[in-house]
């Protein structure tokens, strides 16, 4: 007899799942019955939050949903933070959990791991949460989940399986097939209208977000055809090469860049929420789009949120960008304003470069040193100062090489487990980019135990620890508002000793030369390396 749990594993294989992240427990062992004989590899984090962050990092580099097996009750409460981050960043994640037997649901009898309603708890951080009431529902529910991942705005999906359903006879489902759904294409009439508006614009501009990553080649050609400056969100970094003459970067929160956007007469926003953490990180509500706004998004609701458009289009970003290029081939472009396009971008970049303070320059040098030593590195960031700086000053040559938790949901502790997942995703994609985890001393203490997971999974990630002995950014925030700093000067352990005790290589550095040497050594190892960079030592080494 094939149980529901065993058939689940077979169906996941059919959908191309290669990894599962989870911690086995008494309520999930039946999910594991079919794993041993499958092609799916299991990765064990040290906390369910780590499982979710690993799945998130995996999805970003692999381009496929990360999958988690999670225990009832505390396992689900532990993973909700990771689901919240993935929800905020539109990352596909499939969370499969157990739950009490059908007759016990909502019973309040004090059963092991019992919650009043597990599904209701996670509904706010999922595209949907569903309780499987019979094994027969399994194929259709997985099809629904993967339809979200393939054709809608990708976000976490939660499917919980009651303990008695997990062991239910599912022989009739053994030959169930996976379902493939294609994303929606653009409406021709809307494309023609958008093409006409863009063709007649004198100062067109493009705002591209993480939802348009796969449209990078078409969007680059579109920008060049229109001579349109391009601003990218944090999750879209790399869509245009860093040295492209039309690339503004990710500086939409700065006054100089806002001036350019406000001077545009037609703005194309594609695959972006237009939300404050990418466009108004000062939280002052100063970001404005006075020109005609064209919005393209896979999510109908998102086309009218934050900034209502002149014209909205629900479509896959790549299909829409390619269709716009085809339509513009038949349009005669209006003369562009003489100080627009390449000229305006060059002036803006010069102005921004002259305005960086010493701390920003020092942290940018730190990041560039990393990329000089490891030029193909994928950098997975936490909420920490060099990440905030890199969001503004660093541009890369390809997408999916810079992502972090400092935008959107904005959790701490993300970078370490996400880097583990990212490295695994890169390997499964057949690539070999090194992965760097960029994290602060405060954030690292949230998920420090996942160093053991990195060792066990033999992931040669480089953990770059920016140590300023506390929550310095929050301390500055409090001081600037005349609030006495409390709770920010935290005890920081001997990270080198802890990392070595957990099986990592580890060393402390304080200069460009030392960092370069440490990175070169780390790149030769099979396991993880922690490199601690003391902020004060780094700043003093630069004079």
| pLDDT, mean of residues 11-16 | 96
Rounded Cα–Cα distance for residues 164 and 170 (Å)? 12
Tell which residue, 183, 441, 460, has the closest CA to residue 318: 183
Question: What proportion of the chain, given as a percentage, has pLDDT over 90?
Answer: 82
> Architecture of 356-541 per CATH?
3-Layer(aba) Sandwich (3.40)
How much is the pLDDT for 445?
95
Query: In the structure, what pLDDT confidence band is assigned to residue 284 with cuts at 50, 70 and 90?
Result: confident
| pLDDT, mean of residues 175-181 | 91
Say if CB 249 and CB 395 are below 8 A apart. yes
Query: In the structure, what pLDDT confidence band is assigned to residue 337 with cuts at 50, 70 and 90?
Result: confident
Radius of gyration, alpha carbons of the chain: 24
Query: In the structure, what pLDDT confidence band is assigned to residue 188 with cuts at 50, 70 and 90?
Result: very high
What backbone phi and psi angles, to 5 degrees, belong to 105? -60, 125
pTM: 0.95
| pLDDT, mean of residues 38-49 | 97
463 strand-pairing partners: 437, 530
What backbone phi and psi angles, to 5 degrees, belong to 281? -65, -10
Q: Which two tokens stand for residue 461?
A: 């990630």
| pLDDT, mean of residues 116-132 | 93
Pick 210 or 114 by higher pLDDT.
210
What are the pLDDT digits (tens) for 368-400? 999 999 999 999 999 999 999 999 999 999 999
How much is the pLDDT for 182?
92
Q: Is residue 454's pLDDT more than 90? A: yes
Rounded Cα–Cα distance for residues 341 and 333 (Å)? 14
Residue written as token pair 């998130």: 56
| pLDDT, mean of residues 277-290 | 83
Q: Which two tokens stand for residue 92?
A: 């596909």
Rounded Cα–Cα distance for residues 370 and 377 (Å)? 8
User: Which CATH number fits the domain 4-173, given the four candidates 3.40.50.970, 3.50.50.60, 3.30.460.10, 3.40.50.1240?
Assistant: 3.40.50.970
What are the pLDDT digits (tens) for 58-90? 999 999 999 999 999 999 999 999 999 999 999
CATH topology of domain 188-352: Rossmann fold (3.40.50)
For the chain, give the mean pLDDT: 94
Q: Is residue 103's pLDDT more than 90? A: no
- CA 167 to chain centroid, in Å, comes to 35
Q: Which two tokens stand for residue 382?
A: 């936490």
- For CATH 3.40.50.1220, the residue range(s) in the chain are 188-352
Say if CB 235 and CB 88 are below 8 A apart. no
Say if CB 215 and CB 298 are below 8 A apart. no
Residue written as token pair 């993967």: 146
- CA 122 to chain centroid, in Å, comes to 19
What are the pLDDT digits (tens) for 466-515? 998 888 888 888 898 899 989 888 888 999 999 999 999 999 999 999 99
| pLDDT, mean of residues 330-348 | 90
Q: Is residue 286's pLDDT more than 90? A: no
Residues 6+ apart with CB under 8 A from 92: 59, 64, 65, 66, 86, 148, 149, 154, 155, 156
Rounded Cα–Cα distance for residues 414 and 56 (Å)? 9
How much is the pLDDT for 416?
98
How much is the pLDDT for 180?
93
Say if CB 504 and CB 530 are below 8 A apart. yes
Q: What is the DSSP string of 469-483?
A: SS-HHHHHHHHHTT-
In angstroms, the Cα distances linking 193 to 241, 299, 311, 322 are 29, 20, 8, 15
Pick 269 or 336 by higher pLDDT.
269
| pLDDT, mean of residues 163-179 | 90
Say if CB 21 and CB 421 are below 8 A apart. yes
How much is the pLDDT for 349?
95
Determine the Cα angle at 415 with ends 410 and 420, to 5°: 145
Rounded Cα–Cα distance for residues 484 and 215 (Å)? 48
Burial of 398 (0-12, 13-18, 19+ CB in 10 A): middle
- Which segments within 128-208 are labelled E, that is strand? 128-131, 156-162, 204-208
- For CATH 3.40.50.970, the residue range(s) in the chain are 4-173, 356-541
Task: Report the number of secondary-structure helices (H) and strands (E) in the chain.
Answer: 22, 18
| pLDDT, mean of residues 288-305 | 96
Say if CB 44 and CB 456 are below 8 A apart. yes
Tell which residue, 375, 402, 376, has the closest CA to residue 388: 402
Q: Is residue 110's pLDDT more than 80? A: no
Tell which residue, 235, 186, 163, 172, has the closest CA to residue 399: 235
Q: What is the DSSP string of 499-517?
A: HHHTT-EEEEE-SHHHHHH
Burial of 124 (0-12, 13-18, 19+ CB in 10 A): exposed
| pLDDT, mean of residues 208-220 | 96
Rounded Cα–Cα distance for residues 509 and 517 (Å)? 9
DSSP H or E segment with residue 12: helix 4-14
What backbone phi and psi angles, to 5 degrees, belong to 157? -125, 135
How much is the pLDDT for 472?
81
94 strand-pairing partners: 67, 157
């Amino acid at each position: 007899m094939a149980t529901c749990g065993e058939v689940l594993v077979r169906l996941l294989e059919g959908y191309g799942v290669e990894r599962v992240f989870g911690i086995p427990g008494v309520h999930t062992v039946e999910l594991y019955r079919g794993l041993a004989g499958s092609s799916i590899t299991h990765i064990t984090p040290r906390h369910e939050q780590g499982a979710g962050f690993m799945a998130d990092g995996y999805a970003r580099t692999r381009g496929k949903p990360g999958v988690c097996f999670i225990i009832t009750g505390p396992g689900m409460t532990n993973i909700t933070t990771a689901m919240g981050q993935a929800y905020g960043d539109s990352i596909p994640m499939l969370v499969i959990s157990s739950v009490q037997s059908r007759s016990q649901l909502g019973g309040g009898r004090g059963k092991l791991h019992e919650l009043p309603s597990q599904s209701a708890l996670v509904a706010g951080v999922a595209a949907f949460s569903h309780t499987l009431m019979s094994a027969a529902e399994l194929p259709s529910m997985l099809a629904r989940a993967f339809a979200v991942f393939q054709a809608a705005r990708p976000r976490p999906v939660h499917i919980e399986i009651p303990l008695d359903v997990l062991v239910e006879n599912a022989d009739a489902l053994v030959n169930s097939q996976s379902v493939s759904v294609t994303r929606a294409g653009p409406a021709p009439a809307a494309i023609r209208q958008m093409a006409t508006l863009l063709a007649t614009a004198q100062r067109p501009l493009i705002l591209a977000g993480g939802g348009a990553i796969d449209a990078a080649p078409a969007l680059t050609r579109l920008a060049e055809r229109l001579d349109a400056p391009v601003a990218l969100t944090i999750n879209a970094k790399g869509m245009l090469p860093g040295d492209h003459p039309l690339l503004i970067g990710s500086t939409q929160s700065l006054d100089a860049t806002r001036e350019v956007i406000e001077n545009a007469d037609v703005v194309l926003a594609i695959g972006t929420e237009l939300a404050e953490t990418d466009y108004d990180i000062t939280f002052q509500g100063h970001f404005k789009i006075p020109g005609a706004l064209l919005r393209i998004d896979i999510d109908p609701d998102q086309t009218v949120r934050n900034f209502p458009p002149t014209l909205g289009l629900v479509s896959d970003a790549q299909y829409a960008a390619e269709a716009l290029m085809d339509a513009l081939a038949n349009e005669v472009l209006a003369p562009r304003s003489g100080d627009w396009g390449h000229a305006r971008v060059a002036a803006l970049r010069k102005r921004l470069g002259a305005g960086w303070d010493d701390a920003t320059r020092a942290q940018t040098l730190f990041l560039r040193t990393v990329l000089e030593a490891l030029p193909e590195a994928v950098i997975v960031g936490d909420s920490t100062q060099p990440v905030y700086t890199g969001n503004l000053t660093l541009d890369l040559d390809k997408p999916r090489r810079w992502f972090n938790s400092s935008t959107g949901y904005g959790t701490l502790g993300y970078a370490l487990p996400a880097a583990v997942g990212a490295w695994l995703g890169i390997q499964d994609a057949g690539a070999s980019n090194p992965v760097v985890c960029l994290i602060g001393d405060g954030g690292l203490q949230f998920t420090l135990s996942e160093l053991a997971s990195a060792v066990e999974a033999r992931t040669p990630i480089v953990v770059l620890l920016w140590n300023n002995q506390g929550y310095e950014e929050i301390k500055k925030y409090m001081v600037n508002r005349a609030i006495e700093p409390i709770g920010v000067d935290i005890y920081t352990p001997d990270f080198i000793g802890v990392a070595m005790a957990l099986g990592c290589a580890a060393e402390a550095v304080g200069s460009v030369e030392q960092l370069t040497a440490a990175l070169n050594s780390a790149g030769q190892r099979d396991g993880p390396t922690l490199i601690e960079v003391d902020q004060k030592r780094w700043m003093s080494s630069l004079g």
